[in-house]
Amino acid sequence: MDEYIQLIPLLNIALKFFFLLILNLGVGAIGFVPSFFITVINIDTMGLVLGSVLTFIGEILGALIGFHLYRWGFSKIRSKWLNNSFFKAMKKSSPTKVFILIILFRVLPFVPSGLVTGGASLTTISGVRFMIASSIGKIPSVILEVAVVFGVLQKVSMTYLYIFFSLLLIIITSYWLRNKKKITV
């Protein structure tokens, strides 16, 4: 019986990790929600080391999922903007050039992930090469993000951070709904 009781904390950690991994994958796949928010939750819930690992895994695998979703979505639409000279040039870029650009854009922590992922999905780069380039590029940006988040968590109460994130989510959702309503009218 004691063995089972000792397994309960490990099961609790595993369930939290799994739930947060799914959340991280969703945020990474969407690509326009700043990962800073989920990194705060990861580190607060799982600690610095496991939270950092979770953040990195979520960023990489989420970007890969997003890459395939963007590629699938772009293959289904025939918009005029895809005929723009910029997008045509992207489609013609060599996989090596795209690989290097992905690394460079991933290193910059404030370049929107969805922009890099969506742009890469318009090229001929393979999913494996995209994942390798994203992984190489995300190492420094995730380290910087984790350092900033850890510093913030040392100074600011989680209650204030959750209030701030909730208010920010309400503002962004309201703005999005308002603009969506204007477009449909």
Selected residue with higher pLDDT from 153 and 52: 52
Instruction: Work out the number of other CB atoms within 10 angstroms of the CB of residue 122.
Output: 18
Long-range contacts of the stretch 72-81 (C-beta < 8 A, 24+): 74/118, 74/121, 74/122
Instruction: Work out the number of other CB atoms within 10 angstroms of the CB of residue 30.
Output: 15
CA–CA dist 83, 94 (Å, integer): 18
With contact defined as beta carbons under 8 Å apart, do 51 and 45 qualify? Answer: yes
Give the per-residue pLDDT at 114: 84
Selected residue with higher pLDDT from 2 and 146: 146
Q: Which residues contact 105 (CB under 8 A, 6 or more apart)?
A: 111, 115, 116, 137
How does residue 118 score in pLDDT terms, banded at 50, 70 and 90?
confident
Q: What is the pTM of this model?
A: 0.77
Q: Which of 12-16, 28-32, 79-83, 103-107 has the lowest mean pLDDT?
A: 79-83
Q: Which domain holds residue 143?
A: 2-184
Query: Is it the case that residue 137 has pLDDT exceeding 60?
Result: yes
CA–CA dist 32, 37 (Å, integer): 12
Question: Count of domains in the chain?
Answer: 1
Task: Tell which residue, 90, 36, 85, 82, has the closest CA to residue 58.
Answer: 36
User: To 5 degrees, how large is the angle CA 97–CA 114–CA 73?
Assistant: 90
How does residue 109 score in pLDDT terms, banded at 50, 70 and 90?
low
Give the per-residue pLDDT at 95: 87
Query: Is it the case that residue 185 has pLDDT exceeding 70?
Result: no
Give the per-residue pLDDT at 129: 95
